[in-house]
Structure formats: structure tokens, C-alpha cells
Structure 1
Amino acid sequence: MSLMLENHLEIEGDLSLAERAYRHLRDRLIMLDIRPGDAINDGKLAAEMGIGRTPVREALKRLESDHLVISYPRRGTFATIVDITELADVSELRESLEPLAARRAAKLATPAIRTELRNTAASIAKMATAEDPYDLMRYDITVHRLIYRAAGNAHLEDVLIRYDNLATRIWCMVLDKGPSVAGHVSEHVELLEAIADGDAERAGKLALEHVTSFEQAIRSVL
């Protein structure tokens, strides 16, 4: 396990039950561990996580605002369907906001985060291309969230996490048809190094290229 993921788990341990439930369910939904259209049983989920139903219900309310679940009166709560037609709209927003986050991170990241960025880049450079594509996608999510955190703007971070989640769900829908995930993840090496070096212009350029290559990869298999 990488140092970055170990630190992520340590942070998770300090969260409230509702926040832990939210993050756990959010990541299962975006990785399609909970399939689009599946019914959500809050009692079963609470039992699986070893917590009460109240924090799970609080988490589901937040997930509905994230467009990851939807509730119907007298029918229950369901995982939302992945709408491929949203790709253009999601990409348009990410093409503006991802470069902004990368530039801010290059300018504002703390020395500790710059070290974390460099360590993460080194870890990616050593990754085997044969690794499980779903594990690589989980790593991709963690890398993006590191960059958003480095940008030092909680509002920007929140918005970007939401749109990256939607983009990841779309990617996971075509994961068995699309190009190598390893190639997509490896694009982060230069980006992370540019941010760590404080090169805002290059970081913004690479972030834009990363988002546009994602959209092109998805469209190539649609």
C-alpha cells in the first residue's frame, strides 16, 4: 500500500460516522460496486458497516445532492443511472476547473504536500501496466483528490470531487472496452511533478490535456 493511501486511511479514522458512511458509499457508487439502478437498503448497509441506520440515512441525503442516488416516495432509494450523454457537460466544466486547481496547487501547495505529490508521482512511475484496472481507477481517484486538496480552496475541491466522481462512473461503464487505464493514470506523473515544482503554467496545460484525453478515450468506444 502506498504512503498516500495509508495517510488517507488514517484521515478516515478521524471522521464522524455519517462522514465515513458518506465516503464509503460514495466510492462504492462511483466505482459501480453498487450498480446503477440498484435499490439501496439502508438497514443492510448499516449492518455491513457496523454502524446505525441514522448516519447511513444522513449519507444518502448527501449522495442524492451529488446525483449518485435518487429517492422516490413509497419506492425507496436507488443508485442513479449512468448517463453517457452527460459526458460533454461534465468535460466542459472539468476543462475549466481542473487546470485552475492544478495552477493553484503549483502556486500554493505546502512543502509537505509537495513532498506527497513527488512521492505519488514516483509510485505511479513504478506501477505495473498489468495491475487490475479497477484498482488503477481507485488510484486515479485518490490522485485527483490529492491535487484538489493541494489547491487550497475547499469550495473548488468540493465541486471538482463531484464532477470527477461523475466522470469516473462513466469511465467504469466502459472499462472493459476502453484503452489502457494504466496509460491514463501514468499521465499524472508529469502533472504531479509540475505542481510539485511550482510550474503553474505547465501544470495547467497538463491538467487540460489529461481531461481532454479522458473524453477522447471515452468517445472512442461509444
Structure 2
Amino acid sequence: MTTRHERVQLPLMQPLRRPSIIDQAELELRNGIYYGDLRPGDAVPEVQVSRQMGISRSSLREACQRLVRDGLLTQIPGRGLFVTHMDAETMSDFIDYRLGIEMQAATIVADRVTKLRSTDQDEEVEALLAPLRVCLERSRTAMAAEEVIDAGNADLDLHQQLAELSRNRFLVTAMNTIVILTRMGSFSDPLGFGVRADITSTLEDLVEALSRGDASRARALLRGSLQELARRLRSGDETVEDTEVVRDPDLLESTAPEWPTLGEGDTTS
């Protein structure tokens, strides 16, 4: 038994900390991009944004550099920071990357389902896939109500949940950025923000393939869906689309955010 005077030897652990100002600023910017408050091509003026957030310019600068690293912001020498616009080449490379992440996540989840089915653990399978079915129902409800942005949110949430179900922290971290990059691609669409008219049935097919433990079918569905997305979101592609798309009339055009104007002599730093 350990006495009062003996020191307990613990493994090396990292000190706990609360989210920093920089972490919070990064999250605010990520959310602004995801929800469309910041659109591709919008400027992110350092002085005005730091003033609006109530943080120093150096803290904002560090938060922005994290987004530059992840491809969400683009730094143009002499001009400043801008929300990244997904051109055709960038979109093609991004879809290849997203395919690798999601297909691996789908394989892991399908294999887990197969193992559970092999021991008649059907209830555990339903519990495992329940978060995906919630997103599926959200998509169905949103499309019925013609709420395009909500349907898009449900779609991205389902794909994020798929990564979460893999229990692989590297896949989860990658998907955290992927969903925002996908949203940026949607807002970069010259024809306006839209989702596939058959998005609900597409997601349903994916969930059912996973429910059967059919990794091959799940990967094929992801490949087809993402390749269609890449074709549709190619920057400057005004050709007739092969897939019917439902668009939100309120999201057809991007207007730059109105940052507060600073008075003379402001020295925020």
C-alpha cells in the first residue's frame, strides 16, 4: 500500500489547458467560412477583424496562419488574406484527397459492422449507425421543406459522423477540415450554392451499404458521389449538369462582409 509520504509515479502527461484566444479565433473564422458569412474571395482585413473579435492583431495573425496551413485562407503578398477560392485544379486535387480519407473510414466502419453481424449483434450495429440515420432523416426533412443549406449541412454532418465512427483520430481531424473545404467549394460554384436533388437517396444507399458491411459498395458510392461533386463544382464550368441540382436563391451571389470601420488613431496590436 502506498504511504502518505511516498510519491506516486505517473506516466508523462500533458498539462490541461482551456481553449486559448487563438483557438477561439480560429474556430470563429472556420465557422464563418462554413456557414457562408465568409465566402470564397472575401478579404479578411487584419485590423478590422481583430477589432471586431476583441483580440490583438498578433493573436488573429496566428489563428489565420492555421487556416492558411489548412488551405482555408490564401495569403497574397502585398494584398493580405482572402478566403480561398476553389478553382478547377484545386477542386480536383481536393476530391482525390477526400476520397482517400472517406473510403478508408467507410472500410473501417463496414468491417466493424461485418464483425458484429457475424456474432449476431444486430442491435449493436443499429446503435453504431444511429448517428448516420439521424443525419439521413435531417436531409430528408430539409429537402421536403426546400431548405437547401440545411440539406447540405446534414450531408456534411453524415460524412463527418462516418469519420467519427471509424474511431481513427487522424481521419477525424482530416474530416474536420474537409467539410469546410467542401463548403468552400460549394460557395465557389459559379452557378450558386446547391445540392443534388437525389441527395437523400444517395445518402440512404451509403448507409444501407454500411449496414450490410459491404465496404466495396460503400466505397463505390462515395467515389461516384464525390466525382460528380468535382464535376459540378469545377470553377467556371457553365455547361449543363448531368445531375439535377437544387439551388438556394438566397445563396446565388456572394457579398463581402461589412467589417466595422475603425476611427483615426486606432493602435490595436
**What is the TM-score with the length of structure 2 in the denominator?**
0.62
The structure having more radius of gyration, on CA atoms, is 2
Match of 2:67 in 1: 63
**Corresponding letter in the other structure for 1:217:** R
> Any stretches of 5+ residues in structure 1 without a counterpart?
1-13
Please list, as runs of the form range in 1=range in 2, the aligned pairs for 1:77-116 lying within 5 A after superposition: 77-108=81-112, 112-116=127-131
Aligned residues: 209
RMSD over aligned Cα, in angstroms?
Answer: 3.4
Rounded Cα–Cα distance in structure 1 between residues aligned with 2:201 and 2:27: 25
Contact 2:163/2:172 (8 A) holds in 1: yes
Quote the residue 1:172 is aligned against: 187
- SS of 1:127's equivalent in the other structure is helix
Letter in structure 2 aligned against 1:68: L
Structure 2: any 5+ residue segments left out of the alignment? 1-17, 114-123, 240-269
* Counterparts in 2 of 1:204 and 1:150: CA distance versus 1, 3 Å: same
Change (3 A) 1:25 1:103: same
| C-alpha distance in structure 2 between counterparts of 1:132 and 1:31, whole Å | 14
Deviates more, 1:29-38 or 1:44-53: 44-53
2:25 aligned counterpart, secondary structure: helix
- C-alpha distance in 2, partners of 1:35/1:179? 15
Corresponding residue SS for 2:142: coil
- Give the alignment of 1:116-131 within 5 angstroms: 116-131=131-146
Percent identity between matched residues is 27
Amino acid paired to 2:186 = W
Distance (Å, rounded) in 2 between the aligned partners of 1:31 and 1:208? 25
TM-score w.r.t. length of structure 1: 0.72
Equivalence for 1:189: 204
Instruction: Confirm whether residue 142 of structure 1 aligns to residue 146 of structure 2.
Output: no
Aligned partners of 1:108 and 1:150 also within 8 Å: no
2:163, 2:175 → 1: CA distance? 7
| Structure 2 match to 1:38 | 42
Q: How much does 1:99 deviate?
A: 1.7
**CA contact 1:133–1:181 (8 Å) conserved in 2:** no
